[in-house]
Structure 1
């Protein structure tokens, strides 16, 4: 399991160290924002591929017995997971990960009204959903570690963004919450983001549902047979 733990440690470090503002600032200053994002994405995908490959080569140590009903957990939970991913990517969000360049309007927060950290929340939901149908030690460590890492990143990101936004934090973050559906922000969406969230999330869900056996091995469609 040495290779697995090494790959896991490097994957987590690659997402922890560049998150520090001073380090990210130096990297984006050296490469430019666009080039940095591309290089960082390629590095993350490469480390993830290595981690999954190392996990498949690790000894199988059973933790609990498996049953077909356990496959229903990720099949059900991955749809809202992809909604969080898609919504988080297209919605303006000054508090967390977002690929939108549009300014954030607290009167139309979109998916930020659900949670300030939709992509991190989706990552945690993905991880914990995959713990259930994988009853071995390596999967428990890998997926459980991903989930805990995503949950821990939320308050840390809040603290960093609060410092960056200063006096604007209270105004912009009013009504939002880390916990899903715990805030009272208005349920209004920026133009086009609701449709992109629903269509994009559903499309990603169906695509990965059919590609999963070729990409990762297990076939989640078995629950429909």
Structure 2
């Protein structure tokens, strides 16, 4: 199917990311699934469509922009460790500044966790993931794929900030200032945080194992 499948997968990906979070639809889905259920379902749908999109990029006509070199493999191999930790520390946690948060009314700006480092940890994760994968994938389809994701994530943070400031009013700036003065790391991380870190490490190992089966390419040198 070549470029047609790639274009179709791209359209489905962006529709699956934009329609569920629209004001008319999101409250209905959250009422039916709950906030955590909505986040998990949204994440599962995103991963499924993303897998299809990446596969479609691999089946698109191969137009080389730069040659592959062995050192390029080490870029995503190194970056994906922090990406998995960011995902584990942010998914389903309170975060009134961005999307993907759960139980936002329980957010404590004095103990913001990963939000201390980024108001949009999931977008930071997406930026790192996409940017790292551009390096060893120097063909046109993959450069379009990962380059668009990186640009989308960088722009998305600004758009979300603008929307959240309108929604929260002066509270947005007040909470942002409190978060900025919170310690970046807790001297005594909770059991939940340690479990999330362990889950992030396990996720990294699982991705290394599953990558050849999911995407047809080994991530190892």
- Does the alignment pair 1:33 with 2:30? no
8 A Cα contact 2:64 2:138, kept in partner: yes
Gaps of 5+ in 2: none
- How do residues 54-133 of structure 1 correspond to structure 2 at under 5 angstroms? 54-101=56-103, 103-133=106-136
Structure 1 stretch displaced more, 160-169 or 104-113: 160-169
Gaps of 5+ in 1: 177-182
Q: Equivalent residue of 2:148, what SS?
A: helix
* Offset of residue 108 of structure 1: 0.8
Sort the Cα spacing of 1:36 and 1:200 in 2 relative to 1 into closer, same or farther, 3 A: closer
Sort the Cα spacing of 1:88 and 1:43 in 2 relative to 1 into closer, same or farther, 3 A: closer
Q: Deviations over 1:168-191 (max 9, x none)?
A: 212211155xxxxxx553225573
> Residue 137 of structure 2 corresponds to which residue in structure 1?
134
**Cα distance between partner residues in 2 of 1:37 and 1:187:** 26
**Cα distance between partner residues in 1 of 2:72 and 2:7:** 26
Aligned-pair Cα RMSD in Å: 2.4
Structure 1 stretch displaced more, 204-213 or 112-121: 204-213
**Cα distance between partner residues in 2 of 1:37 and 1:100:** 8
8 A Cα contact 2:39 2:100, kept in partner: no
8 A Cα contact 1:111 1:118, kept in partner: yes
Q: Equivalent residue of 1:169, what SS?
A: helix
What TM-score comes out, normalization by structure 1 length?
Answer: 0.84
Structure 1 stretch displaced more, 42-51 or 11-20: 42-51
8 A Cα contact 1:89 1:97, kept in partner: no
Sort the Cα spacing of 1:39 and 1:115 in 2 relative to 1 into closer, same or farther, 3 A: closer
- How do residues 1-225 of structure 1 correspond to structure 2 at under 5 angstroms? 1-28=3-30, 31-33=32-34, 36-37=38-39, 40-101=42-103, 103-174=106-177, 176=179, 183-189=180-186, 191-222=190-221
**Cα distance between partner residues in 1 of 2:192 and 2:202:** 15
Aligned residues: 215
8 A Cα contact 2:79 2:128, kept in partner: yes
8 A Cα contact 2:51 2:215, kept in partner: no
Structure 1 stretch displaced more, 34-43 or 115-124: 34-43
**Cα distance between partner residues in 2 of 1:83 and 1:36:** 22
